[in-house]
Amino acid sequence: MKTNRRKLFKVAGVAAGGLLLARDQAYGLGKSIPISTDDAKGWSVDALLGKDSGMKVKTLETFTKNQLSIVRVTTDSGAEGFGQIAPFDADISATILHRKIAPHVLGKDPYALAMINETCIDRNLKFPWSFVCRALAGVDTALWDLRGKVEKKSVCELLGGTPRALPVYGSSMSRSITPEDEAKRLAALRDSHGFTAFKIRVGLEAGHNKDAWPGRTEQLVPTVRRAIGPNIMLLADANSCYTPDKAIEVGKMLEQNGVVHFEEPCPYWEYEWTAQVTAALKKLDVAGGEQDNDLAQWRRMIAMRAMDVAQPDVCYVGGLTRTLRVAQMAHRAGMKVVPHSANLSMVTVFSLHAMGAIPNAGRYVEYTIENNDWTNELFEPVLRVRDGKVSIPGEPGWGVTISKKWLESAERQISSV
Ligand SMILES: [Mg+2]
């Protein structure tokens, strides 16, 4: 086993010169170049929030089907907005929304996002994070949509950005795929859709240093690199697999293959472990934070430089407003942000708008290459990859319309005043 791995390392090492050159040209030498912290001080989330709207939130509805729950918020003046609760077991989160979130939102000014977010967290202090944040995300994102529709601006524009096409990385979610098949499928997507970056899965999710099968990771990385060529950006995600020593060993192999981004190398709650890996790997960016939803923990992670790239998930962290707060903290620390958006539900739409506006946005938006039935026919227009880019929907609010048919086929619950 050990000999085989050494051989693979050697093969990877032979190709390393050319690959690293390509990577440097594409990404800048070494780690992400820190952003000037002076410049960062000028960007404030609170300055982006709406002022008094003169309206009050009258109803909160959830529409739940499969892994998803869509939220519709309506005001006393008839204005409405659509948002989305975090996917997966969304029926549980929808119940949390009606029981634990709605009482702090109904009757409030829909523009009072700072107060609404804070109250929902404070009043649920016995039920911290996870499901409260998953549910809060549905309300917060619906309120941003509502404001955009009232002001006839896309969310991206509300945040000071301009809707445009952004580069995406094709994100593989598969660990059951063989290295050969993964390499073939990524090369085909490069040719058909113009992707210029891909992310592959290494190790096993929360895998305690194990792999999907022995040697898969060491075979996958060079096989994919050979198939896609030296000029395609390659990212890797370990989903909390490794102890620091193993993560550093795998990370060096990734570096030798021109990988520029190593995501969640260690169990995500082990911030000190991740920080060790970040400090040890000089040529790639360690990324993380998709599961983190406590802003105080975010502050600590950023302060200790646990990672090089912050990846809040708009839905897991509790909505766009809390994502922006993470982005602001990261910006002030000179750290880039690439939100986690691992499926084609509304979360990728949310990420596109955020990435079009935040000053410390990384280069690529995450865009899954997997076909999940449960995100089909949810909204229009559907997102499309052209020349490796996806357009930020430019119409008011999130710029997409939730399918009436989808809403009618989902389970509806309503809270109102
Ligand atoms: Mg990930």
- Given a cut of 60, is residue 12 above it in pLDDT? no
Span from the CA of 9 to the centroid of ligand 1 (angstroms) = 24
Q: Find the mean pLDDT for residues 142-166.
A: 98
With helix as H, strand as E and coil as C, how does 17-59 read? HHHHHHHHHHHCCCCCCCCCHHHHCCCCHHHHCCCCCCCCEEE
Question: Is there a contact between 70 and 402 (Cβ–Cβ < 8 Å)?
Answer: yes
Span from the CA of 236 to the centroid of ligand 1 (angstroms) = 9
Q: Assess if residue 2 is contained within a domain.
A: no
Cα 115 off chain centre by:
24
CA distance 244 to 306: 12
Q: Find the mean pLDDT for residues 402-412.
A: 98
Task: Provide the pLDDT for residue 298.
Answer: 97
- Given a cut of 50, is residue 187 above it in pLDDT? yes
Span from the CA of 262 to the centroid of ligand 1 (angstroms) = 9
Span from the CA of 68 to the centroid of ligand 1 (angstroms) = 19
Span from the CA of 274 to the centroid of ligand 1 (angstroms) = 14
Shared domain for 260 and 310, answered yes or no, is yes
Q: Find the mean pLDDT for residues 232-253.
A: 98
Span from the CA of 238 to the centroid of ligand 1 (angstroms) = 7
Cα 389 off chain centre by:
16
Task: Provide the pLDDT for residue 6.
Answer: 38
Span from the CA of 237 to the centroid of ligand 1 (angstroms) = 6
Shared domain for 86 and 129, answered yes or no, is yes
- What pLDDT band is residue 34 in, cutting at 50, 70 and 90? low
Name the residue type at position 389. K
Q: Assess if residue 363 is contained within a domain.
A: yes
Instruction: Please state the domain count of the chain.
Output: 2
Q: Assess if residue 183 is contained within a domain.
A: yes
Shared domain for 124 and 112, answered yes or no, is yes
Q: What is the number of other CB atoms lying within 10 angstroms of the CB of residue 299?
A: 14
Span from the CA of 246 to the centroid of ligand 1 (angstroms) = 18
Provide, rounded to the nearest whole percent, the portion of the chain with pLDDT above 70.
90
Q: Assess if residue 1 is contained within a domain.
A: no
Q: In a 10 Å sphere around its CB, with 0-12 CB exposed, 13-18 middle and 19+ buried, how is residue 41 labelled? A: exposed
Shared domain for 215 and 343, answered yes or no, is yes
Span from the CA of 334 to the centroid of ligand 1 (angstroms) = 21
Q: Assess if residue 115 is contained within a domain.
A: yes
Q: Find the mean pLDDT for residues 8-17.
A: 36
Phi-psi category of residue 14: left, alpha or beta, with phi > 0 → left and psi -120 to 50 → alpha: alpha
Shared domain for 73 and 206, answered yes or no, is no
Q: Find the mean pLDDT for residues 275-288.
A: 98
Shared domain for 175 and 28, answered yes or no, is yes
- Given a cut of 70, is residue 44 above it in pLDDT? yes
Q: Assess if residue 3 is contained within a domain.
A: no
Name the residue type at position 411. E
Q: For strand 389-391 and strand 165-171, is the pairing parallel, antiparallel, or unpaired?
A: antiparallel
Shared domain for 164 and 226, answered yes or no, is yes
- Given a cut of 60, is residue 18 above it in pLDDT? no
Span from the CA of 147 to the centroid of ligand 1 (angstroms) = 31
Task: Provide the pLDDT for residue 33.
Answer: 55
Q: Assess if residue 178 is contained within a domain.
A: yes
Span from the CA of 60 to the centroid of ligand 1 (angstroms) = 31
- What pLDDT band is residue 8 in, cutting at 50, 70 and 90? very low
Span from the CA of 340 to the centroid of ligand 1 (angstroms) = 7
- Given a cut of 60, is residue 5 above it in pLDDT? no
Provide, rounded to the nearest whole percent, the portion of the chain with pLDDT above 90.
90
* Residue 200, domain CATH: 3.20.20.120
- Given a cut of 70, is residue 25 above it in pLDDT? no
- What pLDDT band is residue 131 in, cutting at 50, 70 and 90? very high
- Given a cut of 50, is residue 325 above it in pLDDT? yes
Cα 78 off chain centre by:
32
Q: In a 10 Å sphere around its CB, with 0-12 CB exposed, 13-18 middle and 19+ buried, how is residue 33 labelled? A: exposed
Shared domain for 280 and 409, answered yes or no, is no
**Which among 267, 130, 284 is positioned nearest to 205, based on CA atoms?**
267
CA distance 378 to 117: 26
Shared domain for 235 and 343, answered yes or no, is yes
- What pLDDT band is residue 42 in, cutting at 50, 70 and 90? confident
Paired tokens of 207: 């895998």
With helix as H, strand as E and coil as C, how does the chain read? CHHHHHHHHHHHHHHHHHHHHHHHHHHCCCCCCCCCHHHHCCCCHHHHCCCCCCCCEEEEEEEEECCEEEEEEEECCCCEEEEECCCCCHHHHHHHHHHHHHHHCCCCCCCCHHHHHHHHHHCCCCCCCHHHHHHHHHHHHHHHHHHHHHHCCEHHHHCCCCCCEEEEEEECCCCCCCHHHHHHHHHHHHHHHCCCEEEEECCCCCCCCCCCCCCHHHHHHHHHHHHHCCCCEEEEECCCCCCHHHHHHHHHHHHHCCEEEEECCCCCCCHHHHHHHHHHCCCCEEEECCCCCCHHHHHHHHHCCCCCEECCCHHHHCCHHHHHHHHHHHHHCCCEECCCCCCCCHHHHHHHHHHCCCCCECCCEEEECCCCHHHCCCEECCCCCECCEEECCCCCECCCEECHHHHHCCEEEEEEC
pTM exceeds 0.85 for this model: yes
301 or 36, which is more confident? 301
Span from the CA of 308 to the centroid of ligand 1 (angstroms) = 14
For 95, the domain range is 49-152+404-416
**Which among 130, 134, 128 is positioned nearest to 84, based on CA atoms?**
134
Q: Assess if residue 325 is contained within a domain.
A: yes
69-104 pLDDT per residue, tens: 999 999 999 999 999 999 999 999 999 999 999 999
Q: For strand 285-288 and strand 259-263, is the pairing parallel, antiparallel, or unpaired?
A: parallel
Mean pLDDT for the chain?
92
Q: Find the mean pLDDT for residues 199-211.
A: 98
Task: Provide the pLDDT for residue 41.
Answer: 60
Name the residue type at position 154. S
* Residue 139, domain CATH: 3.30.390.10
Task: Provide the pLDDT for residue 231.
Answer: 96
Span from the CA of 214 to the centroid of ligand 1 (angstroms) = 21
Shared domain for 181 and 316, answered yes or no, is yes
CA distance 345 to 372: 9
Span from the CA of 342 to the centroid of ligand 1 (angstroms) = 8
Shared domain for 115 and 262, answered yes or no, is no
- Given a cut of 90, is residue 320 above it in pLDDT? yes
- What pLDDT band is residue 342 in, cutting at 50, 70 and 90? very high
Shared domain for 148 and 200, answered yes or no, is no
Span from the CA of 288 to the centroid of ligand 1 (angstroms) = 7
